[in-house]
Amino acid sequence: TNTSTYKRGAFILFEGCDRTGKSTQANKLFEYLQIKGHAVKFWKFPDRTTPIGQTINAYLTNNQELDDKAIHLLFSANRWECMPKMKNLLLGGTTIIVDRYAYSGVSYSASKGLDLNWCRCSDIGLLRPDVIIFMDLSTEESEKRGGFGEERYEKKDFQEIVRKTFALLKEKDDDDSLWKVLDAKQSVERLHEQIVEISLDIIENCSQLPLKEDN
C-alpha cells in the first residue's frame, strides 16, 4: 500500500576484537559504496575528536587513569553525543558504516569484571544497527598482526575474554540474525566480497523500515 519512494540509509556495524581487520574492511566497503553512487558516511567509535573522545584517548593511550565504570560511561556518552547526527543522516537516506559501537562497549567493560547487565544500561535507547558484521579471529592470529600491544586493551589474555563476551552478547541477543559472523582469517578480498553482498542486501531490505532502538 505504501508507494512512497522514500528510502532511509542503512546502519552497518563492524564489531570484533582488536586487530581483526574491522577498519580495513569498513574502509573498503565505504569506498566500494561511494564508487557505486550510494550516499554513505563512515563513523568510528570511540570518536576521539570530541572532548569526551579526547579523554577516552588519553585513557586508552595510558596517559590518564579512570575508574572502570567512569570510562564505561564515557564510551557510552561518546555514542549518545553522536546520535542526533547519525539519526539525521540515516533518515536523510545516507548509509552509515560504523567501526565499533555499544557491543564493544559492553564486551570490553564486562570483560574487566563489571556486571554485564549494568554495562548494557547506559546504551539502552541508542539506535540499533541493521546488521552487525562480526570479524572473528583467534587471539593467536590477531596478536601476530602489526601494532598489537600499543594500547591499553591489546593484551592476549584480555582479548581472549573479550572474544568470549562478544559471543555471549550474540547468544543473548533477541535478534541474533542481526549478527553475521565472518572468519577474519580469510583474505582481505574474499572478506570484502562477502561484506559487499551482505551490505547491499541490508541496504535494499531496510530502506522502508523504521529506525530501531537498542533495548
CB closer to Mg ion, 15 vs 18: 18
d(CA 205, CA 41): 19
If you compute the radius of gyration of the chain from its CA atoms, what whole number of angstroms results?
17
Sites for Mg ion among residues 17-76 (CB under 5 A): 18
d(CA 33, CA 39): 8
User: Rounded to 5 degrees, what are φ and ψ at 12?
Assistant: -105, 120
CB of 93 to Mg ion, least distance (A): 31
Question: CB within 8 A of 109, min separation 6: which ones?
Answer: 68, 71, 72, 75, 119
Q: What are the helix (H) ranges across 21-136? A: 22-35, 51-60, 68-80, 83-91, 102-111, 116-121
Q: Angle of helix 102-111 relative to helix 68-80, nearest 10 degrees?
A: 180
CB closer to ligand TMP, 80 vs 200: 80
Site string for ligand TMP, 62-101 (x = CB under 6 A): -------------x------------------------x-
Q: Which of 9, 16, 53, 105 is close enough to bind ligand TMP by CB under 6 A? A: 105
Q: Judged by CB under 6 A, does residue 16 bind ligand TMP?
A: no
CB closer to Mg ion, 18 vs 130: 18
d(CA 98, CA 11): 7
The number of residues that bind ligand TMP (CB under 6 A) is: 11
Q: Judged by CB under 5 A, does residue 15 bind Mg ion?
A: no
CB closer to Mg ion, 52 vs 90: 52
Q: Judged by CB under 6 A, does residue 139 bind ligand TMP?
A: no
Query: Which residues of this chain interact with ligand TMP, rule CB under 6 A?
Result: 18, 45-46, 60, 75, 100, 104-105, 108, 151, 153
Query: Which residues of this chain interact with Mg ion, rule CB under 5 A?
Result: 18
